[in-house]
Structure 1
Amino acid sequence: MITENQNDHLGGTTPSYPWSARRLVLSPPLLKDLGKPDVVPPTNPSPPPFPRYGHALPATATRDGELYLFGGLVREAARNDLYLLHARDLSATLLQTAGEIPSPRVGQASAIVSNVLIVWGGDTKTDPKSRQDDKQDDGLYLLNLQSKEWTRVAVSGPGPVGRYGHAVTMAHTSKFIVFGGQVDGQFLNDLWSFDLNSLRSRPQWELMEPTSSEKPAQRTGHVCINHGDRIIMSDGQFHYNDTWSFDLTTRKWSELTCIGFIPAPREGHAAALIDDVMYIFGGRGVDGRDLNDLAAFKLSNQRWYMFQNMEPAPSGRSGHAMASSVIKYLCWEANHSRQ
């Protein structure tokens, strides 16, 4: 579903902001070895990627409007499939990959840098046969988008414990940031950074300890975006409706004093950044019901805006994902809530 980027509403005018539902074009699966003479290209369309819950979708598309959807829960089974979604023609293609492919999981997060897809975390113990003492996968996986080969990074030193329900974002071009999440019922509020430049020498995580005592409470199901030298984090389970900023230079957390129509507390919602405006949609409210409201947070004045009269609009949901694209402005790939 797509809504165009019309930021004029944040400057005083009142245009309309309709949702539009579009049917995905399902292209034939793309085989990794399609260029070999003995490989016959498939002609049947790819299986539909949705409905799906707890999948990973990078917050921004590539310059060509490409989005990569990985894993999640499909009919109560965790998956590790990969789809290429084109914002330009609204198509979905199942991709064949090779290498050290991440195991099936739900609640993971991902990002794109240049021609690399990064996937980290997720609940990897969804199989009923999983042992109680099994640990969540803490591997950092990189997919070369040209060769379609996965690599699990051999990290030196300590790193974040495997988890799900966390949020990630990219900062300063090369830093992959992870905040919060949960593991075995324990909620977390630690902040970790992995600098992709360290791949050239000694790959390692860095625990970004704050320099001040003030910091967000432990949480899961929240959202994070990067804007300049700041990480903006909002909401999360325990149903907060707070908004925090982490300064990457001073390493200080500060709770923002927001004004306007502050959204109701929620978790499991999704967010996307367009210019200096963070949009959030849906999530699960305090009463356990899934929401279908759209809100916008303008970073320059720390004001929340709510949208009214949006019908017809998507149904309430959580565990979905959002992404921004320069081609379709705000591209939303989502799914109904987990049953």
Structure 2
Amino acid sequence: MGSDNCNWHSDLDYDQWVALPVAGPRPLARYKHAAVVIDEKLYIVGGSRNGRYLSDVQALDLRNLSWSTIKLSTQSEADNIRDGRLLEVFPAISGHSMLKWGNRLLLLGGHSKDTSDNITVRFIDLESRVSGVMEATGKIPVARGGQSVSLVGSKLIMFGGEDRQRRLLNDVNVLDLETMIWNVAETTQSPPAPRFDHTAAVHVDRYLQIFGGCSHSTFFNDLHVLDLETLEWSHPQVQGNLVSPRAGHAGVSIDEKWFIVGGGDNKSGALETLVLDMSKLILSVLTSVERRDPLASEGITISSAVVDGEQFLVAFGGYNGNYNNEVFAMKPKPKDSKHPKIVKSSAAAAAAASVTAAYALAKSESLDLTSIENSKTKVDLSVEIGVIKEEKKVLESSIAWVKAEKSTLNAKLDEINETHADLSKELHSVQGQLAAEKSRCANLETQISELQKMLLSMQDIEQKVQALRSQNSAFEHHTTVQRQSSGGVWRWMAP
């Protein structure tokens, strides 16, 4: 592999996608696969192509940009028997979720030929390269695909999806990875409409945020938030750019930024790469691509990677009329820790402050995730006080941002007022000139009217003169005739 491939990340511009110069064989193009980055390697598992589910595991070395196939072995046959039948340990699968847990990849849900009615949790051990099924107990959710799965501490939070009978879901299920016990989260308030192929992220290990997705006839662009302590749903208004509905998009969060790429509405792909500030709930368009670009695809994946100490976003696959297997990378602009970015408007800042205040006023008797398991945890007031103090700092920062924005707007308003005064003077001058021109035009119109009258009078005089000329001509002719006749008589009568 050439040195150019090894140094691909050295000259990337911020917030711009770049196709990586991958050499050699590539995985089969696909969509609705799963992806995660571990130790500078991008792992791709399963997916779908031309209606066929895939079962391969591929790894891309992000240093030298070379792909390799991961060959897996299985556990003993006895470990994979359930209800007297042999389980398919790692089947061809699509629409599943995958995340890292210890030295393992955990895979949940997805559509496959597995006939189990309940959801299956599979694992891939990256050290031993052994694949198997993790047995779970409790209130095991129904099998599904297109769900979202988020990791909070040692618990997996699964929302929504579509079951084998194409029934749409909007339930919340929690799996404790330490006990492998499933529980149902009994939420309150209005949940999101049942959906699948959405994306999810967790903010400050407390707020589960759901964006987009679709039903069988409707595509969504809404944001819903579940407080994992109170288990209350909310539907906050998002500030910033209004974006089109989409499903099959992918998201990954870094600090307080949630990056979202791809998706579509079965007619066209979403061209924008979005970033949501999860603390202020401000959504903006980071960059856009052309139509038919592989990044404007449904069933795409996006992962966060650290290479040589630098943070990158890595996107792979998707379908936009064609199946894709290109790899794209973006270097997100790092967070400015010294000077927080001032929000675009005072209204947005006020909205952000109100959201933060609402978070700070969460009930002191609220439930955490362990309340789902009917266990009691003693509340650590010092932690709550610390959280409130931190949120107070955020509120103070928000107020400072509002004041700074107000000062800027006042300066702009003064400048606009000065410009308005100059324009008013110029307008009065122009209006005076117009009045003078109107007066001159009125005088000209009067002169023209008088000239027209004179012209009519001259035409009458000309007609009279013409008549007189005609009469004079007739008279002269008559006189001439008389003279000629008289002269002849005198001539005849001369002696």
What is the aligned partner in structure 2 of residue 279 from structure 1? 259
The one-letter code of the counterpart of 2:131 is: W
* Alignment equivalent of 2:313, drawn from 327, 330, 337: 330
1:234-249 equivalences under 5 Å are 234-237=211-214, 238-249=218-229
TM (norm. structure 2) is 0.55
Contact 1:178 1:191 in 2 (8 A): yes
Cα deviation for residue 227 of structure 1 reads 2.1
- What residue in structure 1 maps to residue 181 of structure 2? 204
- The answer to whether structure 1 residue 20 and structure 2 residue 1 are counterparts is no
Distance of 1:113 and 1:181 partners within structure 2: 22
Residue of structure 2 equivalent to 1:300: 279
> Distance between the aligned counterparts of 2:288 and 2:104, measured in 1?
40
* CA contact 2:294–2:317 (8 Å) conserved in 1: no
1:68-217 equivalences in 2 (<5 Å) = 68-99=43-74, 101-125=89-113, 134-135=115-116, 138-172=119-153, 174-183=154-163, 184-198=165-179, 203-210=180-187, 212-217=188-193
TM normalised by structure 1 equals 0.79
In the alignment, which residue of structure 2 is the partner of 1:32? none
Equivalent residues of 1:269, 1:319 under 8 A apart? yes
Q: Give the counterpart letter for 1:192 in structure 2.
A: N
Q: Distance in 1 between matches of 2:48 and 2:172?
A: 26
- Structure 1 pair 225–331 and aligned structure 2 pair: CA distance change class (3 A): same
Partner of 1:263: 243
Q: Residues 319 and 337 of structure 1 are in contact (CA less than 8 Å); yes or no, is this contact kept in structure 2?
A: no
Identify which of structures 1 and 2 has the higher relative contact order when contacts are C-alpha pairs closer than 8 Å and 6+ apart: 1
Q: CA separation in 2, counterparts of 1:16 and 1:98?
A: 41
- 2:275 is aligned with what amino acid? A
Amino acid at match of 2:41: E
Structure 2 contact 273–288 (Cα < 8 Å) conserved:
no
Paired residue for 2:31? 53
Q: Do the aligned residues in 2 keep the contact of 1:166 with 1:182 (CA within 8 Å)?
A: yes
Uncovered stretches (5+) of structure 2, i.e. residues with no partner: 1-7, 76-88, 323-495
Larger radius of gyration: 2
Mapped to 1, the partners of 2:275 and 2:69 lie a distance apart of 32
Instruction: Give the aligned residue type for 2:54.
Output: R
Q: Distance in 2 between matches of 1:91 and 1:137?
A: 37
Residue 229 of structure 2 aligns to a residue whose secondary structure is coil
Q: Which runs of 4+ in 1 moved over 6 A?
A: none
* 1:290 matches 2:269: yes
Work out whether residues 18 and 311 of structure 1, in 8 Å CA contact, stay in contact via their aligned partners in 2. Answer: no
What is the deviation of 1:111?
0.6
Q: Distance in 1 between matches of 2:102 and 2:51?
A: 33
1:144 Cα shift?
1.4
User: Contact 2:289–2:296 (CA<8 Å) still a contact in 1?
Assistant: no
| Counterpart residue identity of residue 31, structure 2 | Y
> SS in structure 2 opposite 1:234?
strand
**1:236 Cα deviation (Å)?**
0.8
Greater helix fraction, Structure 1 or Structure 2: 2
**Relative to 1, partners in 2 of residues 1:137 and 1:22: Cα closer, same or farther, differing over 3 Å?**
farther
Are the structure 2 counterparts of residues 157 and 325 from structure 1 closer, same or farther at C-alpha, using a change threshold of 3 Å?
same
In structure 1, the partner of 2:360 is: none
1:310-321 equivalences in 2 (<5 Å): 314-321=294-301
Paired residue total: 290
**Which ranges in structure 1 are unaligned for 5 or more consecutive residues?**
5-14, 27-46
1:217-232 equivalent positions in 2, closer than 5 A = 217-228=193-204, 229-232=206-209
Q: Deviations over 1:14-50 (max 9, x none)?
A: x863221113245xxxxxxxxxxxxxxxxxxxx5224
